[in-house]
Structure 1
Amino acid sequence: MFLQHAAALAILLTTTPVAPASMSGPWVDHYGNAAKATVSADRRTITVCDQNPTDGLRFKVDYATDNPVDPTIYTVTAPEGDCKSDRTYISWIMVFKLCSGYAGPGFISWRDCNPPIRTPR
């Protein structure tokens, strides 16, 4: 199980170049005017927002924390035309990427992701 999580984390971090990030947050990524993902300055809260409910696009953010015991890739999916947040309690968010997709009847077909953004300490 640990190796599966480690492999998933490696894929998140290496599939595309990591975008440069400022040393202090909050860290923000955009998909034009359609979506926004934000990691708070304390690196404990992440929010993804679908800013245009009529464009047919859906958005999620994948993120990883610095917890070596649980190297899971977490996902937060924005409700259509709204925002959703998640938070960590014993670790800090270290990398995130905003992804877009198209909604179908009962499913979302994820297509593109922006380059991952690191949230350095």
Structure 2
Amino acid sequence: MTRRLIAASLIFGALVTLAVMPAAAEHKTAESKRSIDLNVDLGVDREGFRLGGQLFGLEGVYGAWLNGQFGKRGLTLDGRVQDPASAFNFKLNAEIAEWLLRFFPGDPF
């Protein structure tokens, strides 16, 4: 009889413990997942190139890209630099073909 009472008490204690555990787990929050994603883009063709990237982090998106196009009179560069608060665009039109012809005679283009 004593053995049955001890066994029943142990089983009852185990059932109560299993019933209470999910309630205790609800109050604990899981740690947030810290992830950083990086995206890099590189493209080259006959007319120019593109180099860019974005960084998706905990504070927001950072990014930059640069495009270059070759023309008859030179090179055109345009790009963008971006952080979570602001972004800056720029453009440079370098008509250097005539300048290069002074140093390198012939028709490089």
Bigger Rg over Cα:
2
TM-score normalized by structure 2? 0.30
Normalised to the residue count of structure 1, the TM-score between the two structures is: 0.28
More relative contact order in 1 or in 2 (CA 8 Å, sep 6+)?
Answer: 1
**Structure (1 or 2) with the greater helix fraction:** 2
